[in-house]
Chains A and B, each alone.
Chain A
């Protein structure tokens, strides 16, 4: 608790925290990066020196207070230092997604008017040079990796280490200026500007102050008892708010060590070598890992496979209870201990999770089976719900209250409210200052009292106080009888089955819900191979009666689980069909990030929706498709439509109240 009292004692910026860490944990590792096959390490003292030199170098190059410094590249210690050096020099760091195309970069660089850009390598240099004519304020480009850069015109191009060297050489000239700029930084000055990825319209620059970042880092670190001994692996994009909070905010607040992978392709091996104690991954990463474990177990010897199955069944039964500290019998504990010796321990070690004390997943819904799998192994995986605008944390799951279907209770310092339409609002010290150069959006998102609209619809469970997110607010509607219609909620439940790639549920202003299903070709294809079902095309497999049987089972299981939910029981799927083609971004049915465009699907397949609601058992349809080279063609098919069993619901009035 000594730390929180210090927060007012001058620790109001990241550079201030850096100085404290260099004094307090001077010889403790602050950053590691694997290079040339060996983990290279920088202590806090060395980190301070590196950042100081760079900050001096930036001032030497002419960085002014209030300038924007864009940072583009993979997770490298030097790029994290760039952000802190920029702050130290009084500038505002703006990390960009390293995989964005030159065009997207041009928009952001122009919007924030970055005078300085610090990039990782030649690839990023080329992108910036490609668009530099359109950037009026752009002046200097600094690159980290000199490879391939020899022939470039170096009039406005500088190597990172040279900037540091020049800064170091000019330390006597600029040292006082540097101190002065740091002392001016307070809780209200801008810490970082992060651009939201922009699924709707142009990206918006979210301005976060030192108060936002440090308060969020502080309360979340206390919530999970994070200390200077934690190890994390920084592998998620630096432009994402979560990475900024974990790898800068919490790391500087608590003084823990940030490890950077050798390359994006070596992350899983690096994870194993580091064995982080605190870990974050989006659900997709956990899914892929689980799948690869399962596939490798299929190929394992009989004895191993039987041991695995036996102990995993046991783990599913008692593992989560042991993790939550609930009472478990002595015999079961002994068996779990044995399982840990033979299966769970080695498995966790292979995955790199042996030391994980706190793990988080967020971003989208995670399948309950996947979630339970990791928890049953004894990995303390939890969910959180957050946004860039909130400096990540809105709700988190406390230890011992972890469930797959909620996103937890309000994070420390966060207030929640649900408005009449069901949309979730929050207020906290982490709430962003504004959208840069965009007062209209700021006003429509954040009201005068500081409440921020999340754009998500949800509700707070009365007895536990946990928040449950149902759907994007704009997709939530009402059924004809007035009960709640939340398509995403049902679609997610369907998509948790590996055989179902995509699902689209209809029912807004209708009396019943209907669904389109896309099968997952690899999963269903694999299943078909094992069951000797021959098929020659996606379309043929999708229309196979046995595939229909399988999907029907899934739909009916989902219906049973939805029926248990008082508010959403009206959303059970009454009839469904399996689409003859995959929904595709080339045909405009999905966004490039693979989110279904509901309106377009509705228009394009209007005949199929009519058939679903008119009670036909099959429907002939022709669909235009676009090939990858831009040519167009059409697919003709007669699709079967099936009824799915639904569970009658008696108490339906709760939702309408």
Chain B
């Protein structure tokens, strides 16, 4: 186990990771009689790429929904930036600086890429409907400033050529990238990625991996991601939480996880009691 002290740690490739950004304490989530998550605790540190993995139905997406505030756990506490986070509406969580992408793409299909990414700036827009309608003055200034941020994201993710294309006309891999762009436009301090590589071909996966690493490197964004592709997870992440049947069965660096017997059993399939 890494020495994850209060001051943070240094990764295998020499990056400095900061203190605890978010901490999950003894989370239990039930849907009626079904226990989706049982007593799970782990932390996410500033500047790291944290992966949550596990077989199908292990409760990974539920966990991400707890982090994003969409589900409220029956037991346990979520601590964010040193404070206990009360139950919140998703938009309040977004205001805290947490942005996410979805397993099934959730973009506005009829709108252009640019407009979709602009929606990521919603929390930064203060002008009201009337001002927007007249547009001159503060609304114009606000849009220019937000557009600048959006254009930097578009440049970063290399989607200039589809700026004005309606999302419905894009192939799957590009839609995923647009979703990431929208999340990045919010300038989040914590970015949640729900299976960012699902359904992608090898080349698209390589591109996406590079973007995730670059986002982390360039903006210092903390990233929590769920992913099925083990190769990708082991390459990308600094620390990994492994879940199986709603329980945490492993937590550590990729190399520790690779040699963890419980994890191997979960993936190769051993009879459960």
Contacts and interface: CB of A to CB of B under 8 A. Distances in A.
A37 B217 contact: no
Contacts of A38: 151
Contact of B148 (A36, A148, A265): A36
A35 B147 CA distance: 13
Contacts of B155: 35-36
Interface in B151-203: 151-152, 154-156, 158, 160-161, 163
Interface in A331-346: none
A151 interface: yes
Given A36-B148, A36-B152, A263 B160 contact: yes
A26 B207 CA distance: 42
Contacts of B140: none
Given A36-B152, A151-B14, A269 B161 contact: yes
Contacts of B218: 147-148, 150
Interface string B210-248: 100110011000000000000000000000000000000
Nearest to A263: B160
A262 B217 contact: no
Given A147-B156, A148-B214, A148-B217, A265 B13 contact: no
A151 B16 CA distance: 12
Interface in B111-141: none
Interface in A130-164: 147-148, 150-151
Contacts of A266: 160-161
A424 to B, nearest CB: 41
Contacts of B151: 36-38
Contacts of B14: 151
Nearest to A267: B161
Interface of B: 13-15, 147-148, 151-152, 154-156, 158, 160-161, 163, 210, 213-214, 217-218
Contact of A263 (B15, B148, B158, B217): B158
Contacts of A147: 156, 214, 218
Given A36-B152, A37-B160, 12 more contacts: A35-B155, A36-B154, A38-B151, A147-B156, A148-B213, A148-B217, A148-B218, A150-B217, A151-B13, A151-B14, A151-B15, A269-B161
A230 B75 CA distance: 71
Nearest to B149: A36
B13 A262 contact: no
Contact of A262 (B147, B148, B160, B214): B160
| Interface magnitude class on chain A | 10 to 19
A265 B217 contact: no
A147 B153 CA distance: 13
Contacts of B148: 36
Contacts, number: 36
Contacts of B214: 147-148
21 contacts: A36-B148, A36-B151, A36-B152, A36-B155, A37-B147, A37-B154, A38-B151, A147-B218, A148-B214, A148-B218, A150-B217, A151-B13, A151-B14, A151-B15, A151-B217, A262-B160, A262-B161, A263-B158, A263-B161, A265-B160, A269-B161
A262 B156 CA distance: 12
B49 to A, nearest CB: 14
Nearest to B152: A36
B211 to A, nearest CB: 10
B227 to A, nearest CB: 21
Contacts of B15: 151
Most buried by A among B13, B152, B156, B160: B160
The 10 nearest A-B residue pairs measured at CB: A265-B161, A36-B151, A37-B151, A266-B161, A262-B160, A263-B160, A148-B214, A266-B160, A150-B217, A36-B155
Nearest to A148: B214
A36 B148 CA distance: 7
B174 to A, nearest CB: 11
Contacts of A262: 160-161
A265 B14 CA distance: 36
Nearest to B155: A36
B150 to A, nearest CB: 9
A263 B158 CA distance: 8
Contacts of A150: 217-218
Interface in A21-44: 35-38
Given A147-B218, A151-B217, A37 B163 contact: yes
Nearest to A36: B151
Contacts of B160: 37, 262-263, 265-266
A39 to B, nearest CB: 13
Contacts of B152: 36
B183 to A, nearest CB: 19
Interface in A256-315: 262-263, 265-266, 269
A268 B26 CA distance: 56
Contacts of A36: 148, 151-152, 154-155
Most buried by A among B156, B158, B161, B214: B161
A151 B14 CA distance: 9
Contacts of B13: 151
Contacts of A263: 158, 160-161
Contacts of B147: 37
Nearest to A268: B161
A265 B157 CA distance: 13
Interface in A1-55: 35-38
A274 to B, nearest CB: 15
A222 to B, nearest CB: 37
B166 to A, nearest CB: 15
Contacts of B156: 147
B135 to A, nearest CB: 18
Contacts of B154: 36-37
B112 to A, nearest CB: 12
Contacts of A148: 210, 213-214, 217-218
B37 to A, nearest CB: 36
A46 B176 CA distance: 40
Contacts of A269: 161
Contacts of A35: 155
Nearest to A37: B151
A147 B152 CA distance: 12
A156 B151 CA distance: 32
Nearest to B161: A265
A488 B161 CA distance: 38
Contacts of B210: 148
A148 B209 CA distance: 12
A265 B165 CA distance: 13
A269 B163 CA distance: 11
A262 B161 CA distance: 8
B265 to A, nearest CB: 35
A17 B107 CA distance: 52
A537 B217 CA distance: 49
Nearest to B164: A269
A35 B151 CA distance: 9
Interface string A505-531: 000000000000000000000000000
B143 to A, nearest CB: 13
B257 to A, nearest CB: 23
B152 to A, nearest CB: 6
A216 to B, nearest CB: 34
Most buried by A among B14, B15, B155: B155
A269 B218 CA distance: 29
A400 B106 CA distance: 58
A333 B217 CA distance: 63
A292 to B, nearest CB: 15
A147 B154 CA distance: 14
Nearest to B162: A265
A269 B164 CA distance: 10
A262 to B, nearest CB: 5
Contacts of B158: 263
A357 B50 CA distance: 57
Interface in A85-122: none
Contacts of A151: 13-15, 217
A35 B158 CA distance: 11
A150 B214 CA distance: 10
